[in-house]
Every structure is written in C-alpha cells, then in structure tokens.
Structure 1
Amino acid sequence: MRRTFPLKAFPAIAAATAALALSVPAQAQVTRVQKNPDSLILDGADVKAGTDLFYLSGQLASPIDPTKTFADVKSIEDLGDTKTQTISTLNRIKEILAGRGYAMSDIIKLTLFVAADPKLGHMDFAGANAGFKEFFKTAENPNTVARSTFQVAALAGPYFLIEIEAIAAKKK
C-alpha cells in the first residue's frame, strides 16, 4: 500500500528525521588492512564516516643543533643522514599532532619524499625505514600506516633528504 502525505507534512517529517539522526552518535571507525602482519606498512586503511581527519603538510627535519635555524644550515651534517632526518621529521610530526590532540598511533597514511644522499648517490630507503621503525610497530605504538615513498630530484633546500606528509584519523 502506498502512503501519501500532504505537502505541508514534509517539514515536520524532515525535522523528525534530522532529530533522530542527531540523537544517534556517529560510530567512527578506522580499520587497518594488513595481509602480512610482519610487514612494515599497511596495505591500506578504511576510514568510516564520523571520523576526525587531520591532514598534515609535508614536514622537514630540524637542524641537529637546536640553537641553529634553517638559515644556519650549510651542509648535510647540519641535518644528518636520511635516518637522522627521518627521526627528526617524525618527531616534528609527533609534536604537531600532539598539539591537535592526536598521537602517532592515529596516523593512517604517510607519504615520504626522499632525495638522493650525495654520499650514496641514491636515496637511502634503508635509512628512511630505520627511522620509521623507531615510531611504528613499537611497544609505544604497535600500529603502522599505509605509506608511499617517492624518490625526488630535490626538496626545499639542498641539504634536506626527506620530507614527510601525514594523515591522521581518530574517533570524534
């Protein structure tokens, strides 16, 4: 049996539907997809509606000497090798996330842009992974992330070897 409603009933029906939708809390959910649990990275992450997302712009390493500014950086030694720069960059990301109420365990996706280390003549993928392992699949953070890594010709400055951007997700 088909029901019909007078046109003037639609605002009341719409209001009732909206009130019902507002009274049911959104069930945020992040499902990490990983076929091989020993893998360093995820196959992907499924983020359902109702989840807070934070998109973090690409971050670079800080000078090893905390008294130096970026203007003082005159060599790779001022920033360190790829592993050192990865750790520095992930610490910057950790600090920014914490300021927004997120943790490293909330990261679901990282994009790594890696320049060639002049001492090696190519990107140091092993160094990037070594730095990455200090933040993911650890006792403090058993999670890992979906990740892409790209070798790039250069970054913002001649001595930067890695730039990392992140996406974090958490329940509202």
Structure 2
Amino acid sequence: MNFKKIAIATVVLAGMVTAANAQEIQRLGGNPNGPFVSVTAVPTGGKTLYFVSGALPTPVTPPANGQPANWGDSTQQTKSVFENLKKSMAVAGIGFGDVVKATVLMGPDLNFADMNKVWMTEFGTAAQPNKPARAAFHVHALAAPGAQLEIEFIAAK
C-alpha cells in the first residue's frame, strides 16, 4: 500500500513539474497572425536559452508595379538583417553579446567576404567581444524572392 502511494505521488509530482516547465517557456514578438514568433525563451535552470527566428533583410525598395523588391548589395542586406535581429531580440531583453550560436543562410549572389566584414563590426569588437559559434550555408533561394541573406541565433542569458 505504501508503494502505491509513493508511485502515485511521484506521477503527480512529475506532472506538476512538467506543467510548470511548460508554462515557463515564453513565445515573444512576431506578427500575431503569422505562423511563428520572433523569439522563444526556454529556461534551463540557471540561464534561459533564446531561440531567435531567422531574419531577412528589409527591401531597400519594396516591390511595385510588377517589379521585384530591391534588397541592396551584400553589405546593405547584412546590416538590414542585423537591425531586424536587434529589434526581435529587444523584445526578449537580449543582445548580440548573448548570442552563442548563429546559422547563416546565404543566397547564390551574396558576397561572403562583404557579409563577414559587417559581421565583424558586431561580434569580436572592443565594445562587444563575444563571438558565437557559427555555421554558414549557401542555399539556392530564401523564402523572400531575391533576398540573399537570412540569419538565426541561439542566445543564452
């Protein structure tokens, strides 16, 4: 009989811990009518992991009169992506110094060296010395036709 009570208490307690952990996950920012959020925050016990959705550049010139958007050159696109990431991350109270992992998706026309020059203005500087682990991939195309860069982050704070 005692064993049954312990087993039941263990199952109930495990369910409560799981429910509490599920409630602690935060989904922040993004378009309320869109299919994803800007940042998902997952507590890990001491720190919180932040999964930052991939950001695309903002067009220099939006599409108009049947013409595609002008996304700018590699430098402009990288700066734009970083600005969009900063906006998403601000909702969660995190910044580039908190980034521990980056994934970079580059379209066929992106200049890798130009992207890296902009990258080095944000990571590994005197003002922000932290550098994340990073993987970079060339891809055939991104979700926004003509865009050449998408970056996503994992941060911890």
- TM-score after normalising by structure 1: 0.61
Partner of 1:80: 72
The answer to whether structure 1 residue 144 and structure 2 residue 131 are counterparts is yes
Q: Whose RCO is larger (CA < 8 A, sep 6+)?
A: 1
The answer to whether structure 1 residue 57 and structure 2 residue 53 are counterparts is yes
Unaligned ranges ≥5, structure 1: 1-5, 15-47, 118-122
Partner of 1:133: 120
Q: Which has the higher helix share?
A: 2
In structure 2, distance between residues paired with 1:134 and 1:146:
16
Partner of 2:87: 95
The residue correspondences of 1:12-91 to structure 2 (distance < 5 A) are 49-50=44-45, 51-64=47-60, 70-72=62-64, 74=67, 78-91=70-83
Secondary structure of 1:109's counterpart equals strand
In structure 2, distance between residues paired with 1:115 and 1:169:
28
Deviation by residue 1:86-133 (Cα, 9 ceiling, x = unmatched): 11101111111011111111111111110122xxxxx41101101211
In structure 2, distance between residues paired with 1:71 and 1:80:
13
Unaligned ranges ≥5, structure 2: 11-42
The residue correspondences of 1:106-121 to structure 2 (distance < 5 A) are 106-117=98-109
Q: Aligned letter for 1:55?
A: F
- TM-score after normalising by structure 2: 0.66
In structure 2, distance between residues paired with 1:105 and 1:92:
16
